[in-house]
Amino acid sequence: MLYLGCPQWSSSHWKGRFFSQHCSNANMLSEYATMFNSVEGNTTFYANPKPDTVLQWKNAVSDDFRFTFKLPKQISHELALQNCHKELETWLTLFAPLFEKIAMVMLQLPASCGPEHLPRMQNFVAQLPSELCLGIEVRNLAFFRKDDNEKRLNQFLMSKGINRIMMDTRPLFSEAPSTPAIEDAQRKKPRVPVNVIATGERPMLRFVGCSALENNRPFYQPWIKKIHAWLAEGKEPIVFFHTADNYDAPLLARQFIQDLGVDHKVLLPFPAEKQPQQQTLL
């Protein structure tokens, strides 16, 4: 199984392009789920949703759809994984109704979290329910130097079946900051080395594309071979496609699947493409 998606399911820019023309905000998730079978839930990084919102999300998608949600930045950044048992319990209780539809819980760590904090990571992971699939994204450059620090991290992740989240921002930084969106994305996205390793059964790739869709091909071509290998091994890769403003993220995902050569629902007509074209009076 290959899980594919974008970093959001709600975008007014997608109305009439991917979503149907009059798609309401309440229906965006349902229409998104006809195109993709997963989504990167970034909103949970900033704030907890209401309990009834969690139930609405659960009921808006089919049984084969899987969410990924980021743990709150209050836990990962503000409390730095320390003294956060209450906050973690609150989050786990809130999302318990969605556990069966969660592909991965994502722990995004700040660049300040380095090798000296590995014991803190280990203590935090021990608090999570074993049934949840966990992915950890590190941004401290000391974890990318192919030395003992990186080896210790990878060994810990593999021993627990935790997925090391891979981020490829090369396409984003390959172009000049010619628009406010590109400039903003280059300021916010990490410029870390590309790390290719499956430490768990659901290797996750976050691919941040450049503006011209064609220009992304040389960057993701090696990933195509790797994803085929993971699928052959019985793993379940998760791939999310970003662009600077995510305006064309669905098109980038579709282009990638076409080049990957596998069947996926993103190849089906988007809801907007299913709408009858308005007839022109002659």
pLDDT classification of 282: cutoffs 50, 70, 90: very low
Q: What is the DSSP string of 64-101?
A: T-EEEEEPPHIIIIISTTSS-HHHHHHHHHHHGGGGGG
| Residue range 47-95, pLDDT digits in tens | 999 999 999 999 999 999 999 999 999 999 999 999 999 999 999 999 9
pLDDT at 281 over 70: no
pLDDT score for 258: 97
pLDDT at 279 over 70: no
What amino acid occupies position 49?
P
pLDDT score for 275: 64
pTM score, two decimals?
0.94
CA R_g for the chain:
19
The tokens for 129 are 């329910």
For residues 216 and 171, the answer to whether their CB atoms sit within 8 Å is yes
Domain boundaries, the chain: 3-269
Strand arrangement, sheet containing 166-168: 3-5, 238-242, 204-208, 166-168
pLDDT classification of 274: cutoffs 50, 70, 90: confident
For residues 140 and 105, the answer to whether their CB atoms sit within 8 Å is no
For residues 216 and 169, the answer to whether their CB atoms sit within 8 Å is no
Which residue is listed with tokens 């064609």? 214
Superfamily of domain 3-269: Protein of unknown function UPF0759 (3.20.20.410)
| Residue range 143-200, pLDDT digits in tens | 999 999 999 999 999 999 999 999 999 999 999 999 999 999 999 999 999 999 999 9
Q: How many CB atoms lie within 10 A of CB 269?
A: 10
**Among 162, 160, 159, 161, which residue's Cα sits nearest to residue 138?**
162
* Alpha helix (H) residue ranges in 189-248: 217-232
| Residue range 229-264, pLDDT digits in tens | 999 999 999 999 999 999 999 999 999 999 999 999
Quote the CA–CA distance of 128 and 125 in Å, as a whole number: 6
Cα dist from 158 to 170, 215, 243, whole Å? 26, 34, 30
Strands 3-5 and 166-168, by their bridges, are unpaired
pLDDT at 280 over 70: no
| Residue range 121-142, pLDDT digits in tens | 999 999 999 899 999 999 999 9
